[in-house]
Amino acid sequence: MGERQVPLPVGEDKLKYYRIPINLYKNGDLVEQDIYLRYQGNYLVYRAKSTRWSSEDSVRLEEFGSDKELYIRCETDNQHFKFIESNLTRVMSQKDTPTKEKAVFLYQCATGIAEGVFKNPSSSETLVRSKKVVTHTMEHLAKDSSAFMEMISLSSHDYYTYTHCVNVMTFTISLLNALGQKDKKVLEDAAIGAFLHDIGKAKVPLTVLNKPGPLTADEWKIMKKHPEYGMDLLGDKQVPERGKEIILQHHEKINGVGYPFGLRGNQIPLISQVVSICDAYDAMTTNRCYQRARSGFEAFRIITHEMKGHFSPRLVETFIELMNFRKKN
Ligand SMILES: [Fe+2]
């Protein structure tokens, strides 16, 4: 994975500029806020708030050449996120927006929704918003074979709880696809479970969650409760049973060394095993407060040697093929 590719906001003061897809607006669309054109280093109001985009706007934009970019200006990241979430369906359905640009928009939206879900896990909106992310990600990944690698390349090496949810969901859908899972409902349930797999960490004290050193035995006891905490938080919500199984079982290992139950082999459903390996891989390849990010090759060396027996060899093999590591060797 390369450097972080999600565009960061530009600007030092309270008001920051956030890049938006160049084709976002079509003829007749009402523009919700001022749209800025960045051209030769300057930000110019291109279309004012509460007016309608015209086809001439699109034509004129072409005349600025290839280095033009469109921005909105927001006071807070949250304001920017609301803009993204309200425009997600529109962007993802546009035929003339490049796949890469859609992936950036989707990744930003998914990360923002993950943050909202973690900050308020018991909200009635949790499932609806998670499903929205899952549906768009599944559709996006199904479009072409490069979409998966593009999504993964957006992932940061810095470990954030929220990007981890998005990454594990993306890996899970792709690994299940590679394993030949065609049932859309199974894929959707697995993706929801993957997106919410660590939601129980919302109940783990931050002093434990973000501790920069090794955890004490007592702290580990608390940390290892997060699968059950997740069930407590989502217990009475309409989360699909398969999704709940994932939340509860994503730290089980097929040789019985996992938690909370020490299940073995086929006692762990395949989709929980899939999330387990995706979780381990993403955790190893991102920076944590106590450990630097490892390369993909190093992560697979650990999975196949130090963690031998934790995962089914068939899953490991398929994951290696999915990540294309074999060919690079
Ligand atoms: Fe976990």
Same domain? For 71 and 193 the reply is no
- Closest alpha carbon to 228 in 253, 199, 188, 268: 199
pTM of the model: 0.87
Asked if the structure places residue 113 within a domain, the reply is yes
Query: Which of 24, 41, 75 corresponds to the end of one domain?
Result: 75
Mean pLDDT of all residues in the chain?
Answer: 88
Tell me, yes or no, whether 149 and 15 share the same domain: no
Distance 222 CA to ligand 1 centre (A): 12
Whether residues 45 and 102 fall in one domain:
no
User: Could you tell me if 158 and 274 lie in one domain?
Assistant: yes
Task: Identify the band that residue 6 occupies on the pLDDT scale cut at 50, 70 and 90.
Answer: low
Determine the pLDDT at residue 2.
40
Domain finish residue from 75, 108, 123: 75
CA of 165 to the centre of ligand 1 (A): 10
Whether residues 122 and 65 fall in one domain: no
Rounded-to-integer distance, Cα 8 and Cα 23, Å: 19
CATH at 251 = 1.10.3210.10
Q: Which residue in the block uniquely carries the two structure tokens 């995706």?
A: 278
Cα gap 192→134, rounded to integer Å: 6
Residue 83, domain member (yes or no):
no
Mean pLDDT of 163-169: 93
Long-range contacts of 52-56 (CB under 8 A, 24+ apart): 52/28, 53/25, 53/26, 53/27, 53/28, 53/29, 54/27, 54/28, 55/27
Mean pLDDT across 51-68: 89
- Whether residues 66 and 105 share a domain: the answer is no
CA of 246 to the centre of ligand 1 (A): 10
Could you tell me the distance, in angstroms and rounded to a whole number, from the CA of residue 251 to the centre of ligand 1? 6
Per-residue pLDDT at 93 exceeds 50 = yes
Same structural domain, 192 and 228: yes
Q: Into how many domains does the chain fold? A: 2
CA distance 276 to 42: 47
Residue 197 CA to ligand 1 center (angstroms) comes to 6
The rounded Å distance from CA 270 to ligand 1 centre is 17
Q: Same domain for 265 and 200?
A: yes
- Determine contact, residues 22/61, Cβ cutoff 8 Å: yes
Asked if residue 20 lies in contact with residue 48, where contact means CB atoms within 8 angstroms, the answer is no
Q: Rounded to the nearest whole angstrom, what is the distance from the C-alpha of residue 200 to the centroid of ligand 1?
A: 8
Contact (CB, 8 A) for 322 and 278: no
For residue 147, name the pLDDT band (cuts at 50, 70, 90): confident
* Domain encompassing residue 20: 1-75
